[in-house]
Structure formats: C-alpha cells, structure tokens
C-alpha cells in the first residue's frame, strides 16, 4: 500500500507498480505550476490535479480534508489540507501534528528511513517529515501546520528528482482576506478575528472604537488589528493633521515603547491622509501602526510581532472599500 492511497484516499484503490520503468529527468520540465486561492498553496504538478474530499480523525475528532492529486506513470503526487477545529487547535501545534502523524503511521506499511516524524520547518511553519520506501519506490510525507490550517504533502515515485521537485515546490500563503462591510475595509489576516469595542479618552471626550483583532496560532503573542471610529465635525476643527498627530502622541504614551523608530511620518491611502508609527517593545517585538482619516472615519491599522515581513504584509494589505 503506497502512501498516496492510505491517506487521505481510499485504501482499496490499486496503485500501479512502475518501479521497473525508467523515469527521465527531462519530464520535470513539462510540469506545470498549480495554485489554489482557497487552499492558499502552490505547487508544481506533472498535470492538472483532480480534487477529492475525505474525513480523517485527528485526536478522535473528525476533520474534513480537501485533496489535490495526480497519479501518472511517473508516480503519485498530492496535497491535502484541513482547517482545524477549535478543539484541535487547543491541543497545540505539536500535539495536532503528532495526532495525525500517529494516525497515518498506523496505516503505513513502508519502512521509515529517517525515523518517524523528523521535525523541520517549511516557510517558517512547524513540519514533520516522514521518508520511506514501498515497492522500491521513494515515499515522502510532510505534515505542515500553518496557523489553523494543516497541510499534508505526499509523493511516491521511483525518481528522486520527481519527488524532490514536487515536495520542494510546495509553498504556503495561509493569510486570508477579511472584509468588514460595517467598517468599510478589507485586510489580510492569519486567523479569523475577534471583534470588540474599546473606549479611549481624547481631549476631554471619548472615542468608541470597533476593534477587529487576529492572532497567530504559531506565534500567540503576535497581534494584527484594525480599529475604526467616526469623528464629528467638532473633532476636526483643529484640522486633519492635528487630529492625526494627537492620535499618534496618545499611542506612544500608551505603548511606552523601548524605542520609537518612526513617529508620525506622513502617509496616504487612496488620497486620504495618514500617519505612520513604528516602535519596539521591551520584550523585543516590533509595533507598526498606521492611522488614516477617511472623511469623518478614523482607522487605526496596527500589528505587534517578531517578524517584520508579517507586519509589512499586514499593513500593506489594508484597503478602503
């Protein structure tokens, strides 16, 4: 039983043995890139993959998987993914991977070459890699946990080049677009956000902010948030610049950062004025916040994380609708 037909496909499906047939390296040049916007991944397949679904248990909890697979005369190539339930997420990254790894290991009848579940990273995400052999073919399975999404990348072939091409071509883009109809904006987030109301004092009055905040499963101390509130004509009597600068001063006062890198640099979004603030915290994280004034609506777009690329990606993804 080859790896591609134990999970997440039906074990009853036969697999053809092509171990005696030579595979030409030049065949790799005919492979085509495939990307799924919904699944948030890309990979090189030898042909257009077919799509299937199947339910598999993780820690006793049923999860629905979507599978993209190709089987041809060079081997088997598949990517499967599922979005973990809150119960599975509570297990933590390692426990979630351990659970599905153990489920698969019980079904495998090929010999592991490098031990069960060698820990590696793919695109910075925790990964377990299992390598084995079956019918003189090389089998590779990678389990990759990207925030709340779990990927399984599987390949079986008698060509090391084909397996390597497929596995190494897999790339993740797990951030999902989020649209707020009430807020009138869109932004990319690593996980589904929570919404709350926050009240902040400002020059003798209070602003009621609606706050949309997302966390990262693999970096729980990171935060990505958009806040918005509507201001009155009286609030704008001192001018747009004065309002934005005062907001920035209040932000710096509340953060009490270790260092301020950027304090109120003028920016704009679709012609609307804004200010940019960048600082570092005592625990070494980076904070980036952009304020925008769109008519009489104020937006605060802010991130706190260790990864400057994630912060930049988040801030750049914000759009007014």
pLDDT(7) > 90: no
Predicted local distance difference test score (pLDDT) of residue 86? 72
pLDDT(272) > 90: yes
pLDDT(17) > 80: no
**Strand 185-189's sheet: what is its strand order?**
176-180, 185-189, 319-320
Confidence band of 104 (pLDDT split at 50, 70, 90): low
Confidence band of 280 (pLDDT split at 50, 70, 90): very high
pLDDT(15) > 60: no
Per residue in 139-185, pLDDT (tens digit) is 898 988 887 788 999 999 999 999 999 999 998 876 888 999 999 99
Report the percentage of the chain scoring pLDDT > 70.
Answer: 79
Report the percentage of the chain scoring pLDDT > 90.
Answer: 42
Average pLDDT on 73-99 reads: 77
The topology under which CATH files domain 3-172 is Protein Transport Mog1p; Chain A (3.40.1000)
Predicted local distance difference test score (pLDDT) of residue 277? 93
Cα gap 128→234, rounded to integer Å: 58
Average pLDDT on 70-94 reads: 81
Which structure tokens are listed for 238?
Answer: 């001192």
Q: CATH 3.40.1000.10 spans which residues of the chain?
A: 176-320
Task: Considering only residues 217 and 55, tell me which one the structure prediction assigns the higher pLDDT.
Answer: 55
Cα gap 77→23, rounded to integer Å: 15
Predicted local distance difference test score (pLDDT) of residue 298? 95
Reduce the DSSP state of residue 217 to 3 states and report it: coil
Predicted local distance difference test score (pLDDT) of residue 18? 37
Residue 269: CB atoms within 10 A of its CB come to 17
Average pLDDT on 73-84 reads: 91
Helices (H) and strands (E) in the chain, counts: 5, 21
Neighbouring residues of 13: CB distance < 8 A, sequence distance ≥ 6 = 5
pLDDT(92) > 80: no
Angle (CA) 93 142 80, round 5° = 90
Q: What is the DSSP letter of 21?
A: S
Predicted local distance difference test score (pLDDT) of residue 88? 67
Backbone angles phi, psi at 29, to 5 degrees: -65, -20
Exposed / middle / buried, residue 289 (Cβ in 10 Å: 0-12, 13-18, 19+) = buried
The residue assigned the tokens 């907001």 is: 247
Q: Are 46 and 72 in contact (CB under 8 A)?
A: yes
Cα gap 303→285, rounded to integer Å: 10
Which structure tokens are listed for 183?
Answer: 């807020």
Per residue in 287-318, pLDDT (tens digit) is 999 999 999 999 999 999 998 988 999 999 99
The correct answer on CATH 1.10.1040.10 for the domain covering 176-320 is no
């Amino acid at each position: 039983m080859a790896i591609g037909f134990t999970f997440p496909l039906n074990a009853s499906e036969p697999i053809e043995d092509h171990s005696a047939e030579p595979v030409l390296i030049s065949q790799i040049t005919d492979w085509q890139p495939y990307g799924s916007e919904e699944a948030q991944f890309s990979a090189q397949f030898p042909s257009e993959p077919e799509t299937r679904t199947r339910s598999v248990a993780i820690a006793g909890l049923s999860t629905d998987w979507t599978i993209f697979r190709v089987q041809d005369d060079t081997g088997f190539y598949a990517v499967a993914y599922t979005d973990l339930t809150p119960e599975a997420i509570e297990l933590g990254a390692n426990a979630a991977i351990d659970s599905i790894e153990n489920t698969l290991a019980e079904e495998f009848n090929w010999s592991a070459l490098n031990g069960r579940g060698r820990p590696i990273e793919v695109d910075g995400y925790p990964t377990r890699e299992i390598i084995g052999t079956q019918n003189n073919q090389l089998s590779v399975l990678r389990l990759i946990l990207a925030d709340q999404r779990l990927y399984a990348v599987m390949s079986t072939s008698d060509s090391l080049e084909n397996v390597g091409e497929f596995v190494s071509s897999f790339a993740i883009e797990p951030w999902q677009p989020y649209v707020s109809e009430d807020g009138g904006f869109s932004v990319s987030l690593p996980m589904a956000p929570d919404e709350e109301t926050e009240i902040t004092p400002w020059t003798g009055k209070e602003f009621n902010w609606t706050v949309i905040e997302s966390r990262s499963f693999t970096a729980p101390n990171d935060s990505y948030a958009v806040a918005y509130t509507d201001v009155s004509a009286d609030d704008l009597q001192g001018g747009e610049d004065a309002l934005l600068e005062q907001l920035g001063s209040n932000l710096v006062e509340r953060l009490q950062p270790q260092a301020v890198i950027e304090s109120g640099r003028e920016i704009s979004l679709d012609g609307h004025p804004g200010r940019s603030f960048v600082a570092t915290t005592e625990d070494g994280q980076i904070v980036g916040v952009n304020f925008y004034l769109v008519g009489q609506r104020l937006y605060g777009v802010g991130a706190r994380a260790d990864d400057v690329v994630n912060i930049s990606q988040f801030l750049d993804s914000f759009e007014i609708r």
